Structure 1
Amino acid sequence: MTTATPPANGQLIALAHFASRAVLETVLGSTGTTFHQSVTLNAVASQGGTAEHDWLIGRLTGALKIEESAAREIADELVTLKLLEESAAGQVSFTNSGRELFDSIQPGVREASARLYADIPAEDLATAGRVLTLVTERANAELDGA
């Protein structure tokens, strides 16, 4: 007996998110890095290794749906751990240790992603990407209006 594929909804998306996040956290666990720290390191990496501090805080609050104070705590923690450094000009940058940590995490993340997304047709991934982007935009617009 085959079970029909349920339509996409918030519960199904949340289940996929939490299952994928749990896999990611097993990769991160080997380095002692938390999920929020990895999101922060990814954000800095997305800017070439240096980002405006205010941009980073905005990115964390928006992506993680956390308070600004919590985002600042995460960034401060990475500075304390000497993975990021702050400049007088309001920038945060990878330290050598931070870049090494980020680079050491990436192969495990790529391998886990490859396993999770293996054999899913590209057109299905593109459709899922469009749907999830639209749902995210709508949810963010609703939150901005609240």
Structure 2
Amino acid sequence: MTTTPLVNARVIGLAHHAPRALLEGVLARHGTTFHQNLTLRLVAVAGESIGRDDLVGEITGALKTGESVGRGAIEELTAAKLVEADPADTSRLRVTDAGRELYETVSAESAEIAARLYAGIPEEDLAIAGRVLTLITTRANAELTNT
């Protein structure tokens, strides 16, 4: 007889990596990586443009990684012509038409996966999981700030 495990680092890790593997399959079909996709999303939802340094900060904050990873993803997306410098202010980046198309395509495919994975889970359970995971993230971020 199996029992439902309490939430812990292993359960959270497994819940992260299984859907991410599905996302990685989508990304591979479109010739992009997880870091590039995260970066492209940040630029695409930023509005007209986003400051390069602000973008690097958002990437490193989301991925808990060094600036070189964020700057590398930006360089890769720029080389692929998915993001570009804003002509009005070259310290800012904006998404290109090709970048917007890729972002929208990957987002739609990802949404289909998420719909299948979350199907049938009661909203109350999703709300509880959301609260618990948000609290854990907040606490971990606070500890990272203090280290």
- TM-score range normalised by the length of the shorter chain: over 0.9
2:21 is aligned to 22
Q: What does residue range 59-138 of structure 1 map to in structure 2 within 5 Å?
A: 59-87=58-86, 88-138=89-139
Q: What one-letter code is carried by the residue in structure 2 that aligns with 1:91? A: R
Change in 2 beyond 3 A, CA 1:23/1:73: same
Q: Which runs of 4+ in 1 moved over 6 A?
A: none
- 1:80: how far off? 0.9
- 1:73: how far off? 0.8
2:57 is aligned to 58
- 1:77: how far off? 1.0
- Map Cα deviations across residues 47-91 of structure 1 (whole Å, 9 max, x no partner): 125222111101110100110111111111101111000133421
Could you list the runs of 5+ residues in structure 1 that have no partner in the other structure?
A: none
- 1:23: how far off? 0.8
RMSD: 1.2
TM superposition score normalised by structure 2: 0.93
1:6 aligns with 2:5: yes
Q: How many residues align?
A: 145
- Map Cα deviations across residues 23-54 of structure 1 (whole Å, 9 max, x no partner): 11111111011111111111112212522211
Q: What one-letter code is carried by the residue in structure 2 that aligns with 1:132? A: L
Could you list the runs of 5+ residues in structure 2 that have no partner in the other structure?
A: none
SS class of match (1:93): strand
CA distance in 1, matches of 2:51, 2:132: 30
TM superposition score normalised by structure 1: 0.94
CA distance in 2, matches of 1:123, 1:48: 32
Counting aligned pairs with the same residue, the percent is: 51
Q: What one-letter code is carried by the residue in structure 2 that aligns with 1:16? A: A
SS class of match (1:73): helix
CA distance in 2, matches of 1:119, 1:50: 38
